[in-house]
């Protein structure tokens, strides 16, 4: 086993074999294991997921891997922040093992399998980023099967992703509990994101009001407003903040992400938004 214990003050596995060997030792000792998949550039939102795992399990594995298959050719794969040393420092005393494989380790020559999820992956992000969820579903399936954790935790900020992963686990009978970690927000309510560093000062100020509009739109729908009318008004308000484009502001069934055909929320609902300001695309969601 070649776990790296010298570069950082937390062990790092670079290969699936080393990850599995460490997990096997923990299992032999009767310990429970949790997994937090990330793409790195860790902030307090990510760290809250690690803390949640450690409340539930004896050991926490944090994967750091910028997954190329969930980025379209025109998206920001090359520009996505890679801060492994800083991430490792933040995990000291919180995580127990970093799994930081190379792209070749995760997608070796001849790799030809893709996991796709119908239904819940179709609308919203599925329409805006048609190849995205196949990449997410494939890499998450691999990480879960490589680690075989008792629990895996994903942030609720990526609400649709969370529902896709729950569908995978249910449909494929994968023996892992999937938990959602609450969205952590900045002092003005902006959802924490690794991409927030791209915002200019003026863009950051406008972005801080996005969550207010989403929350007020959700309140209107909860009070009986017709969904298309409330969301149309919300979109106009977001554009007035200076956002260049609103991909969607929609109220959907919280689990299936289906439309409410009557125009009113008749089941547990979620309001979801994606909007771009400058070069930064922000997403957020809240219960209705």
Inter-residue contact 277 to 257 (CB < 8 Å): no
| Residue 46 annotated to the active site | yes
**CB atoms closer than 10 angstroms to residue 16:** 17
Instruction: Encode burial over 25-34: b for 16+ CB neighbours within 10 A, e otherwise.
Output: ebeeeeeebb
Catalytic residue among 43, 46, 74, 132: 46
Report the number of secondary-structure helices (H) and strands (E) in the chain: 10, 9
Q: Residue 87 is encoded by which pair of tokens?
A: 């991430």
Distance (Å, whole) CA 70 – CA 129: 9
**CB atoms closer than 10 angstroms to residue 128:** 14
Q: Residue 268 is encoded by which pair of tokens?
A: 């547990």
Active site residues: 46
């Amino acid at each position: 086993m070649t776990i790296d214990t010298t570069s950082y003050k937390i062990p790092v596995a670079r290969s699936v074999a080393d990850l599995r060997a460490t997990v096997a030792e923990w299992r032999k000792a009767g310990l429970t294991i949790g997994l937090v998949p990330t793409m790195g550039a860790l902030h307090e939102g990510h760290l809250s997921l690690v803390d949640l795992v450690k409340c539930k399990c004896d050991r926490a594995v944090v994967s750091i891997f910028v997954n190329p298959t969930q980025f379209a050719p025109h998206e920001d794969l090359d520009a996505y922040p890679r801060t492994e040393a800083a991430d490792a420092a933040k995990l000291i005393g919180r995580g127990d093992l970093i799994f930081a494989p190379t792209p070749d380790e995760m997608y070796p020559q001849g790799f030809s399998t893709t996991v796709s999820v119908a239904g819940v992956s179709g609308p919203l992000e599925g329409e805006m980023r048609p190849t995205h969820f196949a990449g997410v579903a494939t890499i998450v399936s691999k990480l879960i099967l490589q680690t075989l954790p008792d629990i895996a935790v994903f942030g609720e900020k990526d609400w649709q992703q969370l529902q896709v992963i729950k569908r995978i686990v249910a449909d494929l009978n994968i023996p892992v509990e999937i938990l959602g970690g609450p969205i952590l927000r900045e002092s003005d309510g902006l959802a924490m994101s690794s991409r927030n560093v791209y915002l200019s000062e003026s863009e950051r100020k406008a972005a801080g009001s996005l969550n207010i509009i989403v929350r007020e739109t959700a309140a209107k729908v909860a009070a009986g407003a017709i969904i298309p009318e409330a969301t149309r008004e919300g979109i106009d308000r977001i554009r007035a903040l200076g956002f260049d484009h609103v991909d969607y502001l929609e109220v959907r069934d919280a689990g299936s992400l289906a439309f409410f055909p009557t125009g009113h929320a008749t089941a547990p609902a979620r309001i979801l938004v994606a909007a771009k300001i400058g070069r930064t695309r922000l997403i957020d969601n809240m219960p209705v």
